[in-house]
Amino acid sequence: MISIFPPIPGPILPPSGRRLRPLNKAEEPMAELPTTARVVVIGGGIIGTSTAYHLGKLGYSDTVLLERKKLTSGTTFHAAGLVGQLRTSANITQLLGYSVDLYKRLAAETGIETGWKMNGGLRLACNAERWTEVKRQATTAHSFGLEMHLLTPKEAQELWPLMTIDDLVGAAYLPTDGQANPSDITQSLAKGARMAGVKIFEDTPVTRIIVEDGRIRGVETPSGTVECEKLVLCAGQWTRALAASVGVNVPLISVEHQYMVTEKIDGVTPGLPTLRDPDRLTYWKEDVGGLVWGGYEPNPKPWALNGIPDNFHFDLLTSDFDHYSQFMENAIARVPALETAGVKQLINGPESFTPDGNFILGEAPELRNLFVGAGFNAFGIASGGGAGMALAEWVVKGAAPYDLWPVDIRRFGAVHRSTDWVRARTLEAYGKHYTIAWPSEEMRSARPTRRSPLYAHLAAAGACFGEKLGWERPNWFADLAAGETPEDRYSYQRPGWWGAVAREHRAARHAAVLIDQTSFAKFRLTGPDAASALNWVAAGNVDRAVGSLTYTQMLNHNGGDRGRSYCSA
């Protein structure tokens, strides 16, 4: 293992030498905290300020943002600042694309520079399976309207001359990706929010959320109480505990995340694209002639297991060079200049991560008029503009601007109230950040948690289980007599379960099958108007003879699909 020299003694500096405690910008004298507001936003990082900015744009000038310390002082100030757009969901990609559009024009609107550079982004593939994944991503990107080019190794090297390409199969290039200065974006959003009439108060912690008759009524602070109609929690890694104080579950934990800032390196130019090398678990960006680079290790370290320290703000954790050293051999093999580069700092900052690697957005199912924007899995800067836009529309109009189910807070269930379960699953998700995303891949941690009474019988019959909301559910059955083992083997072609599932399809068509539906939610609706009530909610006709079974969609008030169900008379 290649060793890393200790850091040069001196002040702790994030990329570009930015101060951890930024100088105060000239602002109007601080107004007195109002006693009422239409909306209160808690949290002055990029998500909270973006939400406040967009609320102001939507005419909600009677919005108050409360920050416990200073703007950006939680996790935003130490973010690396890469802005990539491509995700597996078309709508999440659209949301990230909105961030890019916003960052391109924000400085002209507010007069505060954001450090935005649309220098493009490269993603490397070092083996056939990764190359298949990248080509599928390119197809997906084109379907989303994103420009994405597949490159040969040599073409990729022409864009990023410092890297070796001996092991490359190919690369993808998104010219509209880029990078930005997280603190400057946040200050620019805050300025834009103030321009729209939003009031922002720093050094104003919320000590209690006031709930009466099951509704949000306001918040208490050391400076007084603010009554409000709606409350938005954008408090980063503090959100879980704050929401739990009023019975709302936000499944996230804090994890240590490190990246290194180098001195200037010959050949590093201002227009160098961002670089993601998932097979080596690392990412890279240019920074004042040097490089910022970090990674996602398979053995992440959780932080604040007993709670976040009371006075934690503008703080970093102790750099863990031993833990970070696992990246070094692969990183130097990719960028040989790193071996002799000077090290400014190894930055270790806690970030909030979630059990499925997606952030958390929307109105809490447990409490009306309480909204959440948190758990951004170290891509909060890329998400910030779009997430703030979507959350603001959710607050104003009562619904997201488009289908955002992959990040909707309602996707979680009772099992996610267990901090032990959330921590185990989140650490696994963190470790898979750069692994290949196989189709139908199952997580392994925190299992089994919930089992049906038939679990042992199904296992004895060769069941290979998957998991949904903590429930163990058979995905397919191995033929034990023929020597098959109930273990998943993933592939972009024919996965290991291909033949087994074909057998089950034939059995369903030509004989009969039994399906264990213990894990399905069940509701009993009784009374003289039960059939008409169900018919109002369901797409299919459920008013049929006793003993009938109807498979149908359950619809929301806009006619959208809320979920599928079996209705029996």
Q: What is the pLDDT of residues 333-375, one digit of tens each?
A: 999 999 999 999 999 999 999 999 999 999 999 999 999 999 9
What number is the average pLDDT over the span 489-515? Answer: 95
SS3 sequence, 523-552? Answer: CCCCCCCHHHHHHHHECCCCCCCCCCEEEE
Asked if pLDDT for residue 15 goes beyond 60, the answer is no
Bridge partners for 566 per DSSP = 551
The whole-number pLDDT of residue 323 equals 98
Q: What kind and span of H or E run contains 457?
A: helix 455-460
Task: Count CB-CB contacts under 10 A for residue 205.
Answer: 17
Dmax over Cα atoms in the chain, in whole Å? 80
- pLDDT tier at 21 (50, 70, 90 boundaries)? very low
Task: Count CB-CB contacts under 10 A for residue 240.
Answer: 25
Taking all residues of the chain, what is their mean pLDDT, rounded to a whole number? 93
Q: What is the pLDDT of residues 34-47, one digit of tens each?
A: 999 999 999 999 99
What number is the average pLDDT over the span 20-29? Answer: 44
Identify the residue with better confidence: 89 or 149: 149
Place of tokens 């924007």: 373
Asked if pLDDT for residue 455 goes beyond 70, the answer is yes
Spatial contact of 103 and 385, defined as CB atoms under 8 Å apart: yes
Asked if pLDDT for residue 29 goes beyond 90, the answer is no
Q: What is the pLDDT of residues 513-549, one digit of tens each?
A: 999 999 988 888 899 999 899 999 889 998 999 888 8
What number is the average pLDDT over the span 195-214? Answer: 97
Spatial contact of 254 and 351, defined as CB atoms under 8 Å apart: yes
Query: What's 249's DSSP letter?
Result: -
| Beta strand pairing call for 63-66 and 199-201 | parallel
Q: Which token pair is 434?
A: 């750069």
Spatial contact of 374 and 359, defined as CB atoms under 8 Å apart: yes
DSSP 372-422: EEE--TT-HHHHHHHHHHHHHHHHHHSS-SS--GGGBGGG--GGGG-HHHH
Spatial contact of 390 and 58, defined as CB atoms under 8 Å apart: no
Spatial contact of 504 and 511, defined as CB atoms under 8 Å apart: no
- pLDDT tier at 13 (50, 70, 90 boundaries)? very low
Positive/negative CA dihedral, 549, 553, 554, 558: negative
Provide the b/e sequence for 21-40 (b: ≥16 CB within 10 Å): ebeeeeeeeeeebeeebbbb
- pLDDT tier at 564 (50, 70, 90 boundaries)? low
Report the C-alpha gap between 93 and 84 in whole angstroms: 9
Place of tokens 């899995």: 377
Q: What is the pLDDT of residues 154-170, one digit of tens each?
A: 999 999 999 999 999 99
Distance, CA of 412 to chain centre: 14
Asked if pLDDT for residue 415 goes beyond 60, the answer is yes
Report the C-alpha gap between 171 and 168 in whole angstroms: 8
Asked if pLDDT for residue 484 goes beyond 90, the answer is yes
Residue 283, classed as helix, strand or coil, is: strand
Distances (CA, A) of 305 to 235, 357, 358: 18, 19, 21
Q: Which token pair is 138?
A: 């390119």
Provide the b/e sequence for 508-544 (b: ≥16 CB within 10 Å): eeeeeeeebeeeeeeeeeeeeeebeebbebbeeebee
- pLDDT tier at 562 (50, 70, 90 boundaries)? low
